[in-house]
Chains A and B, each alone.
Chain A
C-alpha cells in the first residue's frame, strides 16, 4: 500500500472534485499583549508543600482567590489580553448527592455571583478534599435549566396528575399549608397526631427535621430506610443495638466486602475507597462477595460470586472452621459476648434442640460448655457444603479462610445494602452472621476492625433549642400504625413503602381498629422530601393510585428543587435548595473520627461576606437566592421555622411556636446564626476553638467590613467557625467505645448510666445500688421491674458502659427475639437441609435457587448502585447524564444467554413472579448484555435508570414554559385498564436550546450561558426501564425491609414490545403484600402488651413509654 512520490504529487495536483472541510479547531486572534509589556492582571498561586503544589488555596486566602478558568489556561494563559482573571470567595459546604457528606467548596465569582466550580474541602477530615463525580456535578445541578424557579401550585379545578400548574408565591403556599396544618392540630385527638406525615428520602441532616415533627407532637416522621438498609441495620441492632457498622478501613489487613457498595458505588464510597486503597498499599487483601463482578470485585484479590441470600452459609462455615481449629479470639468472646444468657436459658436451648439445630443439650453453663455448644451448632457447616449452597468453587472459600488467618484481628467489612436489602432474612445473611464471623475473631471496635457508629457520628442539628424560647419538645405520646404496623413489631425502621397499601387496605384497618387501635384512614397533609416514592419504591402505580386520591391524602406538597414522577401528582412543589443552597448539619461514621460538616447556601454566605444584609433575617436564604438570579429558591430550615412560627401557630396557642421563637429576639423567629450557634456550641472542643478564632478575627480586623465580620464572629462564634471552615473534627482515634468509662461522682457517690428500662437519656443513680455479677462482670441495678444491666466491669476493675444492648454485651443470643416469638432466629443461624429451609422460610431468600424451577428462571439483582447516579436526582445533572448515558442493561451470564438465545443489545422480556404468592405481577422489557461478570442463574439490572415524564414542559403563564427533566427522562405514555397499568416510551431525550428570561436576567435561571452546550446531547435515555413499578412489595417479616430481589422469567418480547415497555397488575402486587404480611409475620403485642421491645428506640422522634403500650379493645 506504500505511496510513492509520483502518486503523492499527483494527489497534490488534484484540484477538482470534493475537498475536505476543516472542523474549525483553529482560530486566529489579534494578540494585543506583547512580550515586554506588563501583564494585564495577576493570579494567585498555591504554596509548595513537601515538594508538591498544594491541592487547595491556603485557608487564609479563601476570602479572595484570583485565578483563570481552565479554558483560559488552555487558550494560552495569562499572557493574552482577552483573558480574564476571576476573583473568587471560597465558601465551604457539604455535598448532598449521597449520604457520605463529603466536603465541598463553592468558588463564587465575586463580580458575577456565579459559582464557577465546586471542589472539595481540604479541611474536612473525612473526605480530605476529594469528591466523586457526583460532588463535582453539583454545579451542573445548580444551573440545570429544568430546575424549578418558583413555587408551583396545582391549577384550581384540576385533578392531581392532570399536569395543570400555576405559579404561586411562597406567602400564599405557606398560608394555605399552615392553615391546613393548624386546623389538624387544633382537633387535638389521637388521630390528629398521626395526620401530618413527613416522608423523607435520604435525610442528609442530623436532627433538625425530627425536631420540627417533635414540636408538632406528631408521630409522623417517616423515612426511606426500609427500601434502603433496614435489613443490615437490623443485624447491627441485634448485635450491639447500634444503627450501623463503622469500619476502620485504612488500618485493616483484610477488607471483606459484601457487595461493591463500600468501595465503588454506595454508602460512603468516595471516602471509603481512598481508605481502602491506602490499606491495600500497605498489603491488605480485598475480597468482594457479590454475584456481580463490580468495579471493586474486578480489582479484588478474590471475587466470590455467592448466590444472593446464601452469604450466611459462607460466614457460618468459615466460623465453624475457626472453631474446629481453635483459631478464634477466645478472650474476646468470653469477655464480650452474652454467651451466659444462652447457657442460662433452658427454653431457648430446647427450641434449638427440638428444631434439630442442636444435637444435644449442653452439660453445664460454663464458657467451656458454650464453646462445645458452638461446635455442636455449627460443626456441620463445612466449606464444601457452603460452596454448594452458595454455588461457588470451594477453592475460593479455602483461599478466603487463608486470608482470615492472615488478617487476624484486623478484618473489616460493611453491612449495608446488598444481601441485607435484597433478600428475605437479609438481616441474617448480612450482619447477623457476618458480624458473628468478625466478632469471633475479635474484630470489633478495634484498630483495623469493624466498629460501631456510636461515638463516631455527632447529631447536633436538633440541638439548637438553646437559641429558642423553649428548648426541647416533649416526647410524643401516640403510635402511628401506618409507620409501624402491628405485624412488624421488630421493624428497624418505618414500613414507609407500604403507606399506599395500608391506606388502601380497609380490611386491615378495620381489623386493628376493632382491636382498639386508632389506625389512620387518611392523612391531612403528606410531605415527601428528597424522595420520589412513585418511581423508586416497588409497586409505584399503587403510589399513584393513592396520591391521586384527595380523600386519602388531603393536601400534599413537596419541598423539592426539581421535577419528579412523584411531584407530578402533588398539590404544591416548593423549590428548595440543592447541595450548596441549604442548611444542614451532617455527620457520618466514615472513619474512626467524630467529625461534623455544615451544608450551607453558598450564595447567601458569599453575599454576606461582601457586606449584604437581608431585609428579613429569617428569610435570608430566599432573599439571597433571588438576588443572585437562582430564582425563588428557598431552603428547609428557614422554611419550617417560618411555616410553624407565622402560619401553623401564629399566636402560640398550640404550643408549637415557642420551639421556634428566638430567645435573643422574643417575638421573632429564630435565625440560622442563632440556632446553629447554639447547636454547635454543645461540642466542647468546637466551642473552645471557635472562641479563639473569633478573637483572632477581631484582632486582625482593619476595614469596616472586617470589623463587621469580627463582630458577627464574636456574637456567634460557633456558627461563624463552621460558616468559614465547613467542617470540624471533635475527636480522633475513636476505638473501643464499649470500654468507655462510666462517669462516677465520688463526692456525690453516684454514677451516670443510660436509663435502664427504656433506653434514652442518661440518669444518675447512687453508686451503692450498682451491683456486679461476678460470673459475667455485668453491672446491674435491681429495679421494680427486675434486674437491669447498665454496664460491664472490665478486668482491671474499670466500670465501663459496655454496649447498649439489654445484656450490655455483644448479643450472640438475642433473648428479646425469643420473647417476641422468634426463638429459632435468636442466634446466628442458617438452614442446612431442605427440611430446615421449609421450616425456616423467614431466613431463606425469596430468590433462593430452590425456587428457580423453570429453565428460564433467574434471580434478579436490581439494587447495585452506579457510582454516577443518585437514585432519583441524576436527571437534573447534564454531566452525570452524559457519563451514564442513562444506560441500563440486564447483565446475563454468557452461558445463560447462549442457552436462551439472547444476544447483546437485544430486547429481553422480564416477567416478574413472587415465590410466596406465586403471582406474576407483569413484565418489563430491557436490553440484554451477556457477560462473564455475573453469576450463572442470576441477573443484574440496576434500578437507577428508567426515569419518565409525560410531557416535555408545562405552561404556567410565565414568559416561557418550564421544562421537565429534559436531560434524563424520555417522554412516556401511561395506560390504565382495570387493575392493569402500562408504560411505554414514546420519545427519547433531545437537544435543548436554552434562552434567558427577562425576569431572571441574562445570568439567572435557566442559565443560558452555562447550558449553551445542550445542543450536543448524545443520549436518548431509551435503554432504561422503570422496573421498580413491576416489583412485588416484599416486606421482610422481621426487619420490615423491602426485599428487593425478584424471581423473574426471561423470554423474547412479543410483537411490538420494545425496550422500556412495562405492564403490571396492581391487584397482583397488592395480593403479594398481603400474603407476605399474613403468612410470614408474627404480630404485636409482645411481652407486657408492648408494640415493640422497649430497648429499641424509635428513630427520629422520641416517644413516651406509654406510646409503646398497645391499646386493647
Chain B
C-alpha cells in the first residue's frame, strides 16, 4: 500500500475515534472511502441514521461516548500501567515518543486527557506516513518507516488491539464495530508491510 493511501486511512480512523460525527465526516462515510472501508455499514439501514443531526446524535454520539469516554478507555497508559490509570503527566509513554521525534500533541484539539489517546496516536501515524510519502530520498523514507515501526510495535500494537476488540464487542452501532475491525486490519497490514 502506498504511504499516501495509508496516511489517508489513518486520518480516517483518527477522525472517527477522536470526535463525534459531523456533517463533513458524514459526507466521507457516505462517499467512496466509507463504502470501501465499511462495506457492511454502508449497505445497512444504519446509514439512514446519519441525518438529520438530531437522529445522528441520538444514535452515533451516544455510542461514541459509550466507547470512548464512559465504558471503554482509548488511552494507552490505561492498558499498560499496572494500576490501570491514565498517565496524564510527564511520564506518559507517548509524550516521550513525541518529544523524541519533534512532535507535540494538542490535547484541546483532541479533547484528550493525555497524548496517548488512540485518535492522537493514529493522527501521528498519518503524519508519519505522509512524511514518508513526501520523502525526497530513499534513506529518509526508510528512516521515517523505522519511526512508524517503533510507533506501531512500541505503542499502538501493544494496546490498541485490546481496545478495538472491546469496541467490537461492546459497540451498539455497526459503524463503530466495523470500524474497529477495519482498523485492526490496517494496523496488522501496516506492521506486516514494515516487517517485510
Contact = CB atoms under 8 A, between A and B. Distances in A.
Contact of A12 (B2, B16, B107, B110): B2
A23 B99 contact: no
Nearest to A1013: B108
A1013 B109 CA distance: 12
A768 interface: no
A993 interface: no
Interface stretch (B48-56, B77-85, B114-122): B114-122
Nearest to B108: A1013
Nearest to A9: B1
Given A1-B178, A19-B11, A21-B11, 4 more contacts: A17-B33, A18-B27, A73-B90, A74-B90
A19 B88 CA distance: 31
B32 A22 contact: no
A25 B110 CA distance: 5
Given A3-B185, A79-B99, A74 B14 contact: no
Interface in B3-17: 5-6, 8-9, 11-12, 14-16
Contact of A2 (B18, B103, B181): B181
9 contacts: A3-B37, A18-B24, A20-B33, A25-B106, A28-B103, A74-B92, A76-B90, A76-B99, A77-B90
A6 to B, nearest CB: 11
Contacts of B186: 8
A22 B15 contact: yes
B47 interface: no
A11 B89 contact: no
B111 to A, nearest CB: 9
A11 B185 CA distance: 12
Contacts of B41: 1
B33 A23 contact: no
Contacts of A19: 8, 11-12, 28, 33
B185 A8 contact: yes
A31 B102 contact: yes
Given A25-B105, A25-B120, A75-B95, A11 B36 contact: yes
A26 B28 contact: no
Given A22-B11, A26-B120, A7 B36 contact: yes
Nearest to B88: A74
Contacts of A71: 107
Contacts of B15: 20-23
B19 interface: yes
A74 B89 contact: yes
Interface string B21-43: 00011011001110011011100
B9 A76 contact: no
Interface stretch (B58-66, B123-131, B141-149): B123-131
Nearest to B110: A25
Chain A contact residues, majority secondary structure: loop
A16 B34 CA distance: 11
Contact of A11 (B37, B102, B120): B37
A25 B123 contact: yes
B157 to A, nearest CB: 17
A73 B89 contact: yes
Interface in A1-44: 1-3, 5, 7-31
A491 to B, nearest CB: 50
Interface in A759-811: none
A80 interface: yes
Nearest to B130: A22
Nearest to A1: B40
A29 B37 contact: no
A28 B105 CA distance: 9
Contacts of A1013: 108
Contacts, number: 150
Contact of B39 (A3, A20, A21, A80): A3
A14 B115 contact: no
B161 to A, nearest CB: 15
Interface string A58-90: 000000000000110111110110000000000
A79 to B, nearest CB: 6
A74 B112 CA distance: 11
A74 B114 contact: yes
A77 B104 CA distance: 11
Interface residues of B, number: 60
Interface string B174-195: 1001100110011001000000
Chain B contact residues, majority secondary structure: helix
A26 B2 contact: no
B96 interface: yes
B98 interface: yes
B95 A77 contact: yes
Contacts of B28: 17-20
Contacts of A5: 185, 189
Nearest to A79: B99
B15 to A, nearest CB: 4
Contact of B107 (A2, A8, A74): A74
A13 B2 CA distance: 9
B168 to A, nearest CB: 9
Contacts of A10: 36
Contacts of A13: 5, 36
B30 to A, nearest CB: 8
Among A24, A73, A74, A1013, the one with the most B-chain Cβ atoms within 10 Å of its Cβ is: A74
Contacts of B189: 5, 8
A717 B41 CA distance: 75
A28 B102 contact: yes
Interface in A679-720: none
B1 A12 contact: yes
Contacts of A74: 88-90, 92, 95, 105, 107, 114-115
Given A12-B9, A74-B95, A77-B95, A17 B114 contact: no
A424 B27 CA distance: 62
A13 B92 CA distance: 35
A15 to B, nearest CB: 8
A852 B157 CA distance: 63
Contacts of A16: 32
B19 A23 contact: yes
A886 to B, nearest CB: 21
B106 A80 contact: no
A11 B39 CA distance: 10
A1032 B161 CA distance: 61
Contact of A23 (B14, B37, B115, B127): B14
Nearest to A33: B99
Contacts of A27: 103-106
Interface string B126-160: 11000000000000000000000000000000000
Contact of B104 (A1, A29, A79): A29
B105 A26 contact: yes
Contacts of A9: 1
B25 to A, nearest CB: 6
A17 B103 contact: no
Nearest to A11: B36
B61 to A, nearest CB: 13
A76 B105 CA distance: 9
Contacts of A23: 14-15, 18-19, 109-110, 119, 123
Contacts of B104: 26-29, 75-76
Nearest to B127: A26
A570 to B, nearest CB: 39
Nearest to A77: B90
Nearest to A78: B90
A20 B106 CA distance: 18
Contacts of B27: 18
Q: Which 4 A-B pairs have the closest CB atoms?
A: A76-B99, A25-B110, A17-B31, A11-B36
A8 B110 contact: no
B18 A25 contact: yes
Contacts of B33: 11, 14, 17-20
Contacts of B8: 12, 14, 19-20
Contact of B106 (A26, A70, A79): A26
A20 B11 contact: yes
B127 to A, nearest CB: 5
